[in-house]
A and B are shown apart, each in its own frame.
Chain A
C-alpha cells in the first residue's frame, strides 16, 4: 500500500526522517515504533494546558484529542496536542505531527501532501479507518495556519 506513489513525495526533513524510520522498520514492528513515538509527545505548554478551550477538538479521532497549530511572529509553526494516555495510537499520530510540523514555515505546512498519513506504512497494521484520525489533525492544522495568516494580512 502506498509504495512508490507516496514514498517518493518530497517532505521536509523531520517528516522525511520519520517516514523513513517507519518504512525502514519491518511492518510487524512498526506498531512498536509508533508506540515509542507516542511516548515522545511533549506535554502541552502551560498556556494551553491552563486554557484547553484555546485548542480545537479533532472530531476525526476516536479519542478526545485537542490540537492547535500556532504560527509565531517569525512565521514558524508549532503544533501542540493532547490526547489521553489510554489512546496511544492517537498520541502517536499527534507526536508525528508535533515533531514533523513544529519548526516548519507556515507555507511548508500548507504545502504538505494531504496523503501524509498514508506515507508511514501503517495502513495494514493500524488500518485506514484509524489513520483518518491523523488526516483530521493535519487538515485542521492547515486550516488553523491559514486562519492565522489571513488574520495578519487584514
Chain B
C-alpha cells in the first residue's frame, strides 16, 4: 500500500501529482508506517548535523556508485542497500536534500533504474523545510532491515549511454542543463565545482541549453506546470511524446530536469545521460560544439 497522494492544489496540476509532496504533507505523514524519508545531499555530513525526524541517509557518492566501475550499484548491492535502510519494495520513499534536491533527484533516478515504484520528492527540499523552521533531529532512526528482492537494473528506459546519445543525435531533443558558460565552452567546470575535470569545453552537438535552475522557483520548489511548459514544451519546441535526452556534468543536475519533464510535465520518454560532459567532453573522437549555437551533427 503506497502512502496517499498529497492533495495540494499546486501539485494537482502536474502530470503525476503523486510524485511530489509538500513540506506540510510530509510533516503530517512522518509517522506513516509505509513511508520512509530519505535524505541525499551533496555534503556527506549534512544529515548528521540534523535531518527530518525519522529520515535515513543515502549518500549519492559513497553508497550509490559501484566501487570500481564507473556505474551504479549492481542488482545485489542495491537490494542490500535498500534492506539495510529498512526500505521494502512497496515502501513509499520521499527524498529530499540540499542544493534544491539535486542529489535527491539523482537518488530518485537511481532508485527508478531499479524499478522502485513509489519514489517522491519533497518539493523545495531541505532548504524549504529548514526555512520554514520545521523540526530537525540528530537522532538516527534504528530501522529494522526490510525485505527487498534482487531486481535487475533497467539501463534502457530512463538511462542513456554515450552510444545511445550518438544514435539519438539529429533525431530528437537533447537538453544540456549546465550553466551557459559550460555550454558555450567558456569554462570547463560548473562555477564552483572544478573537481570533475574535462579536457574540452562546449556541448554535445544539437543540444539546447536550459540551466536546471530555470525549473525552480525562489523557494526551491518546482515552478508551476504552466511555467515549466513555457520553458520546455514551448521554449524548446518539444512535445511530451518526444524522445528526450538530458545531460549535465555527471548526471545529477539533469536528474532534476529528468524528474520535471517526466513527472511534472508527463514526458513519456526522457532518458538521463549520466556519463554526461565528463564522459563526452573527454571521449576520443567525440565531436563537440562551442558557442551559443546548438551546432549540427554530421553522422
Contacts and interface: CB of A to CB of B under 8 A. Distances in A.
Interface residues of A, number: 26
Contact of A86 (B44, B46, B61): B46
B45 A86 contact: no
Nearest to B138: A35
A87 B193 CA distance: 14
A39 B44 CA distance: 15
A35 B45 contact: yes
B195 interface: yes
Interface stretch (A66-74, A123-131, A143-151): A123-131
A85 B48 CA distance: 12
Category for how many chain B residues contact A: 10 to 19
Interface string B48-68: 110000000000011000000
B46 A88 contact: yes
Nearest to A92: B45
Contacts of A89: 43-46
A132 B43 contact: no
Contacts of A87: 43, 46
B90 interface: no
A60 B195 CA distance: 6
Contacts of A129: 61, 195-196
Contacts of A130: 44, 61
Majority SS at the chain B contact face: loop
A59 interface: yes
B194 interface: yes
A64 interface: yes
Contact of A62 (B48, B62, B193): B193
B75 interface: no
A64 B193 CA distance: 10
A127 B64 CA distance: 12
A38 to B, nearest CB: 7
Contacts of A90: 43
Contacts, number: 54
B188 to A, nearest CB: 12
B269 to A, nearest CB: 31
Contacts of B62: 124-127
B268 interface: no
B98 interface: yes
B195 A127 contact: no
A34 B45 contact: yes
B49 A35 contact: yes
Contacts of B44: 31, 89, 125-127, 130
A64 B48 CA distance: 20
A27 to B, nearest CB: 11
Interface in A73-127: 85-90, 92, 124-127
A86 B195 contact: no
Contacts of B46: 86-89
B163 interface: no
A31 to B, nearest CB: 6
B42 interface: yes
B28 interface: no
Contacts of B144: none
A32 interface: yes
Interface in A1-58: 31-32, 34-35, 38
Leading 9 A-B pairs by shortest Cβ distance: A88-B45, A132-B195, A89-B45, A127-B61, A89-B43, A35-B48, A59-B194, A35-B45, A88-B49
Interface of A: 31-32, 34-35, 38, 59-64, 85-90, 92, 124-127, 129-130, 132-133
Interface of B: 42-46, 48-49, 61-62, 98, 192-196
Given A61-B192, A62-B195, 11 more contacts: A35-B45, A60-B195, A62-B42, A86-B43, A86-B46, A88-B45, A88-B46, A124-B62, A129-B195, A129-B196, A130-B61
12 contacts: A31-B44, A32-B48, A34-B45, A62-B42, A62-B43, A86-B43, A88-B45, A88-B49, A127-B61, A127-B62, A130-B61, A133-B195
